[in-house]
Amino acid sequence: MIISRRPLLLGAAAASFAATSAFAQTAADFMGEWHGVLDLGAQQLRLRLVMADGPAATLFSVDQGNSAIPIGATRIEGDQLSLDIPVIRASFRGRLTGGRIEGQFTQGGTLPLAFQRGEAVATGPEALTQALLAELRARAGAPGMGAAATKRDGRNVAFAGGVRALGQPQPITTGDRWHLGSITKSMTATLVARAAEAGAISWTDTVGAVLGAAIPDIRVEYRDLTFRHLLSHRGGLQANIEMVQLMAFPRESADSRVDRIAYARMGLLQNPVGPKEQTFTYSNTGYVIAGAMLEAKMGAPWETLIQQHVFAPLGMSSAGQGAPGTVGAYDQPVGHAPGPTTVAADGSVSVPMIPHPPGHPITDNPAALGPAGRVHASFEDVFKYLVAHRDRTPFLNSQSWQTLHTPPFGGPYAMGWQAEGDRLWHNGSNTLFYAEVMVDRGRGIVAAAAVNDGRAPDMRPHVGAALLGAAQAVA
């Protein structure tokens, strides 16, 4: 079953953190900055932990662009520290002893992790080369990998390696199309901004007012949610509907509006995870609801709207929805899932999921999830989109760009983007592909990297290194 989820370790698109529990007698001893190293075998990741009164904490992945990872709950009990990190499905449990916090980091498996006082020093990433890309792909065990970057002054690089499908000879190329997963979310937010400028919708339109006729039994807690709440994951909605519900939706559809309303209703009847604005929960459901609102106001499917108002104006001719590639061919990268079907020469074990006629169960998310994570495109076309955000081109007015890039309720998560200073970042996976993109407005750089392998925990360190390495290559 394929669901668009937050990928795991590390550097997930983030938002604010919340703290729980009360101070213990030794709470003051935990305050300040700490650093540690997580040994993943093929790579070591430096982490920075910032502890503040409350207690509250934020974790940073130094070697993945110093990206912030929000802590869902921080608990101090005597000399014990517990951190819950739901956005990457992880936790840390440690004990303060001898000036160190010694403990275990759990994310699927469990690894030892110790923090010492001080701040980890971030060093520049190694500039990406074809040889380094091949090394990163081999470490990841991915069938294929691609990475590219371009700078405002015209410098650009593009690298590709591996094969489109295990067991087949067709090589990955720099012009191939990659599934972008949840990177789609920033595109949906950009569509909302375009529609607002055109007067077709308003940022303050509410769920109740727009969808109340189609979904009369919306829970009262959700009726006054606006696009701002939905696009910043601050609506108090649960992350997804139940698995058995999701499995009932078709993978492909000529018009997904009815399915999207049905999905939205399921989400709007779920119990809230917390009060709106105060609670961050990364929610695919919120983006499906936003898509249903756009469709209700504009009278066309989200797929048509994103094509007409975002892809076509930006010249993104390769952009589409669903698995890339032609049925029965290996003309684009094929997504891979863990399994015993094919063993590559480097020892990786994956199952290639070749595009099939509509109705095949495992090539992508259900069509109803389109606004949350079903877009594919080439890096060339992805860069047309990223450059518009980097340069804040006339594609949108200055106020719209500012709205998209600013977290409306605090924390680092804006409208479909993790926003830190001049930099925007997001990742995405449909559990068959994994991709990351970055916009560095200060340095004038945009970058993208991807693999046709959905094992996000294994892919993330290497794709992240390729992303930052590509950016360094044009810096």
| The pLDDT of residue 128 | 96
Average per-residue pLDDT for the chain: 87
What are the beta bridge partners of residue 52?
56
Is residue 404 domain-shared with residue 456, that is, in the same domain?
A: yes
Q: Is 4 among the domain residues?
A: no
Is residue 348 domain-shared with residue 440, that is, in the same domain?
A: yes
* CATH number of the domain residue 65 falls in: 2.40.128.120
Q: Are 463 and 434 in contact (CB under 8 A)?
A: yes
Could you tell me which residues come within 8 angstroms of residue 98 by beta carbon, excluding any fewer than 6 positions away? none
Is residue 243 domain-shared with residue 329, that is, in the same domain?
A: no
Q: Is 374 among the domain residues?
A: yes
Could you tell me which residues come within 8 angstroms of residue 373 by beta carbon, excluding any fewer than 6 positions away? 4, 180, 181, 182, 183, 184, 185, 284, 287, 365, 428, 430
| The pLDDT of residue 44 | 67
| The pLDDT of residue 90 | 85
Is residue 55 domain-shared with residue 143, that is, in the same domain?
A: no
Is residue 98 domain-shared with residue 148, that is, in the same domain?
A: no
What does the pLDDT average to over 71-96? 88
What does the pLDDT average to over 198-215? 98
- Cis peptide leading into residue 355 (ω within 30°): no
Confidence of residue 73 (pLDDT cuts 50, 70, 90): confident
Number of domains the chain contains: 3
Is residue 230 domain-shared with residue 354, that is, in the same domain?
A: no
Confidence of residue 199 (pLDDT cuts 50, 70, 90): very high
Is residue 325 domain-shared with residue 466, that is, in the same domain?
A: yes
Residue 265: give the domain boundaries. 202-305
Q: Which domain-ending residue is among 247, 276, 305?
A: 305
Is residue 102 domain-shared with residue 139, that is, in the same domain?
A: no
Is residue 213 domain-shared with residue 283, that is, in the same domain?
A: yes
Q: Are 180 and 375 in contact (CB under 8 A)?
A: yes
| The pLDDT of residue 461 | 86
Could you tell me which residues come within 8 angstroms of residue 35 by beta carbon, excluding any fewer than 6 positions away? 46, 47, 48, 49, 62, 115, 116, 118, 119, 120
Select the more confidently predicted residue: 347 or 87: 87
Q: Which domain-ending residue is among 305, 340, 368?
A: 305
CA distance 441 to 405: 11
- Cis peptide leading into residue 10 (ω within 30°): yes
367 is written with which tokens? 């069509």
Is residue 326 domain-shared with residue 408, that is, in the same domain?
A: yes
Tokens 């360190």 correspond to what residue? Answer: 461
Is residue 426 scored above 90 in pLDDT? yes
CA distance 297 to 201: 7
Tokens 């002893």 correspond to what residue? Answer: 97
247 is written with which tokens? 């499995």
Tokens 């609801």 correspond to what residue? Answer: 289
| The pLDDT of residue 124 | 61
Is residue 463 scored above 90 in pLDDT? yes
| The pLDDT of residue 121 | 52
| The pLDDT of residue 287 | 98
Is residue 89 domain-shared with residue 144, that is, in the same domain?
A: no
Q: Is 367 among the domain residues?
A: yes
Chain segment 103-145, per-residue pLDDT in tens: 999 876 788 899 998 765 555 678 999 999 999 999 999 999 9
Is residue 41 scored above 60 in pLDDT? no
| The pLDDT of residue 356 | 47
| The pLDDT of residue 56 | 84
What's the chain's Rg over C-alpha atoms? 21
Q: Which domain-ending residue is among 280, 305, 330?
A: 305
Pairing of strands 177-179, 67-70: unpaired
| The pLDDT of residue 303 | 98
Q: Are 150 and 474 in contact (CB under 8 A)?
A: yes
Is residue 300 domain-shared with residue 330, that is, in the same domain?
A: no
Cα–Cα nearest to 468, from 7, 182, 127: 127
Chain segment 239-289, per-residue pLDDT in tens: 999 999 998 998 888 999 999 999 999 999 999 999 999 999 999 999 999
Select the more confidently predicted residue: 323 or 18: 323
| The pLDDT of residue 321 | 94
| The pLDDT of residue 269 | 98
Q: Is 316 among the domain residues?
A: no
